[in-house]
Amino acid sequence: MNKGLILSALILGGAVMLWITWGGDDDATVRNGNSGRDGTTITVTEARPAIEVVRVDAVGSAEALKSITLFPASSGEVVSVNFTSGDRVESGQVLLELDARDARLALELAEAQLADANRTLARYDRAGPGAAFTPTQLDAAQIAVSEARIARDRAQVALDDRTVVAPFSGTVGLGEIYPGDRITTTTPITTLDDRSSLLVRFEVPEAFLGQLSPGTEVDLTPWTSSAEAAVARVADLDSRVDQTTRTFTVRAVLENSGDRWRPGMGFQVRLDLVGRSYLQVPELALQWGANGAYIWTVDGESKARRTPVRLIQRKDGTVLIDGDIDVGQRVVLEGVQKMADGRVVEVVDPDLMDARDTVQARLESGL
């Protein structure tokens, strides 16, 4: 037992000597410099710059980059359907054909009339200035050629309208049109979606207006638990704020090269908006009084100062604050219960405090 007490005393003496030595040389340890009195022992940290980050959660709905419902340009009987639901089609591909016999005959007639008008005009041109025709007859022949050309072009348009083609590459949806059906210009044929990318639409409170811009990253999590999360980028923002909900619409582009997502899917949207720069300190340093939040700082004379602050944000055991403090300002972390405005304090290394407490505990236990 005596040997244990002697050993513990030696350890305590060594720790005290180490504490005194480090207190005179290490920059992390600050004493009050008053030899006649002891300062209040505290530990401090430094106020560091940090950027305010606000997380916005929203519900988004996906839509195709381009999405249309196809209708025929003219009425008639369906003679051919060249697609199946879910097919990938290319731009210009013929999807449906109507009976075009009358349209072809009308085009042949228009071409014959144009050829006849051209021959008549050619005869006038070959006759020359001395021919027995008037300028009015020549003008009439020229007009006849123009009218016949227009009639031919209209007949070609009518023939083209007997087919329905894909205006862009994409995937066709369900269709309920079959050969033999008679359809009109109001009969929907199918849908066509360009799913190479999706636009995810969501609402953001007007308070964040001006903090979003095209290119901002957005985290998307589909409501289907088995699906993987994805990252999209803001494509555009609405130019108006909804007067009822006080929100504005944002659309983000989600790449869908693997065709994993579908238009109409719902997503949980998360985005981090970067705000102003503030100072960050551990949450333990923040105190509350009758006049609001404050912290204890240590000035160059090792005196405590009560500094009012405004709490901006809490995050992971730290707080962002705004107040009359500078970057690198020493902030009291432990010992705030002993503070008084203007009191001389002694700042110690917390590691040395732990070593002293350990030795003291061993002495008290008789080891």
Contact indicator for 218, 270 with CB cutoff of 8 Å: yes
The CA angle 253-255-256, to the nearest 5 degrees, is 125
Distance CA 159, CA 102 (A): 9
Q: DSSP for 297-340, please give it.
A: EE-TTSBEEEEEEEEEEEETTEEEEEES--TT-EEEEE-GGG--
Q: Tell me, what's the pLDDT at 253?
A: 95
Q: Is 342 left (phi over 0), alpha (psi -120 to 50) or beta?
A: left
- CATH number given to 68-183: 2.40.50.100
Q: What is the pLDDT along the chain (367 residues), one digit of tens a residue?
A: 445 544 454 454 554 444 333 343 333 334 433 433 455 677 888 888 888 777 888 999 999 999 999 999 999 999 999 999 989 999 999 999 999 999 999 999 999 999 999 998 888 888 766 666 777 888 898 999 999 999 999 999 999 999 999 999 999 999 899 999 999 999 999 999 999 999 999 999 988 888 888 998 999 998 876 667 889 999 999 999 999 999 999 999 999 988 888 899 999 999 887 777 888 899 888 889 888 999 888 887 788 888 899 998 888 888 888 888 888 888 888 877 777 888 887 776 554 444 445 444 554 555 5
Fold match flag (56-65+193-274 vs 68-183): no
Q: Which class is domain 56-65+193-274? A: mainly beta
Residue-level pLDDT at 127 = 74
**What is the per-residue pLDDT for 364?**
53
pLDDT at 78: 96
- The domain locations on the chain are 1-28+350-367, 56-65+193-274, 68-183
Q: What is the pLDDT of residue 129?
A: 66
DSSP summary character for residue 227: S
Distance separating alpha carbons of residues 106 and 35, to the nearest angstrom: 114
The whole-angstrom separation of Cα 259 and Cα 267 is 16
d(CA 129, CA 142): 16
Distance, CA of 115 to CA of 117 (rounded, Å) = 5
SS3 percent helix, strand, coil of the chain, rounded to 5, is 30, 40, 30
